[in-house]
Amino acid sequence: MMGKLKVYADQMSQPSRAVLIFCRFNGIDFEEIKVDISKRHHLSPEFREINPLQKVPAIVHGSFNLSERYPSNLFRRAKINSVMDWHHSNLQHGAANYVINTVLGPATGRPLSPKAAAEAEKVLLSSLSKLENIWLNGDGHFLLGVSQPSIAYLSMVCELMQLEVLDEKDHSRILSPYKKVLQWIEDTRTATNPHFEEVHNILYRAKKKFEQQRSRVAETGTEPSNKMGGHSKM
Ligand SMILES: N[C@@H](CCC(=O)N[C@@H](CS)C(=O)NCC(=O)O)C(=O)O
């Protein structure tokens, strides 16, 4: 007996959201174990036992075993791996660093850096262009021409969804030129609902909080305090 699959996740983390939506959408019987990054739970000795890299998400099923989450067809599995490889060093690299350096950093104890944000934006824009013109270039509908949301494309869509917390101007400057990408996000939302919206609720609450913070700064000219408080309260 392997026992129930355990997913260690923080819903404020985009790869965590991708895995949670994937498991819910596929009707996988799993237990979600919350790891609150804003409270440094990922740095605890207990979590280090689960994932020595101290990152979420992490999956435990008896012993670590990710392979059965992937499709059994070898060619399709290889394609998904190649998309994930590209995603981690391109789209994730650009989007996560942009969001951390413009909005989210202080909530996890990191300072904002306009210079790092500018560098991340270049990676993000070049990744979006490749996504639009290469990955989504088939029928322009679903990635790799497949109509089932794979973990690869949920990961990428969740990566892009985190841009919701940006200032409206930045959000539209970055995303609006990429029509296929925008359509793909909508298609994924529709295909995986209600799970998609449920898992993104925490992000929508954070978005509202950041909007209020920005309008207070605009009205009063005072800087926001550098803390968002615990994510779980957003
Ligand atoms: N490439 C990994 C990235 C994992 C990752 O960076 N997770 C972040 C949250 S989104 C984390 O755990 N950060 C911990 C930290 O900031 O120290 C994946 O996609 O799962």
- Which atom of ligand 1 is nearest the CA belonging to 37? 14
One-character DSSP codes across 6-58? EEEE-TTSHHHHHHHHHHHHTT--EEEEE--GGGTGGGSHHHHHH-TT--S-E
Of these ranges, 135-144, 181-190, 220-229, the one predicted with the greatest mean pLDDT is 181-190
CA-CA distances (angstroms) from residue 30 to 14, 24, 162? Answer: 19, 8, 24
Q: Is the pLDDT of residue 177 over 80?
A: yes
In a shared domain, residues 59 and 93: no
For a pocket test of ligand 1, which of 56, 155, 163 has the largest count of ligand atoms closer than 8 A to its C-beta? 56
183 and 125 part of one domain? yes
Quick one: pLDDT at residue 19?
Answer: 96
pLDDT at residue 226 above 80?
Answer: no
pLDDT tens digits along 88-103: 999 999 999 999 999 9
- Is there a contact between 58 and 51 (Cβ–Cβ < 8 Å)? yes
> Packing angle between helix 151-161 and helix 14-25, nearest 10 degrees?
130
| 148 exposure class (CB count in 10 Å sphere: 0-12, 13-18, 19+) | exposed
Q: Is the pTM of this model over 0.85?
A: yes
**Inside any domain, residue 65:** yes
Cis peptide before 15 (omega within 30 of 0): no
Which range has highest mean pLDDT (87-91, 107-111, 135-139)? 87-91
Q: Ligand 1: distance of its center to the CA of 4 in Å?
A: 23
Asked, for residue 106, whether it belongs to a domain, the answer is yes
Q: Is a pLDDT exceeding 80 seen at residue 43?
A: yes
Report the distance separating Cα 157 and Cα 160, nearest Å.
5
Q: Which residue has the higher pLDDT, 160 or 140?
A: 160
Please check whether residues 44 and 155 belong to one and the same domain. Answer: no
CATH code, domain carrying 57: 3.40.30.10
pLDDT at 56: 95
Q: Kindly tell me if the per-residue pLDDT of 76 is higher than 90.
A: no
**Containing domain of residue 167, as a range?**
74-220
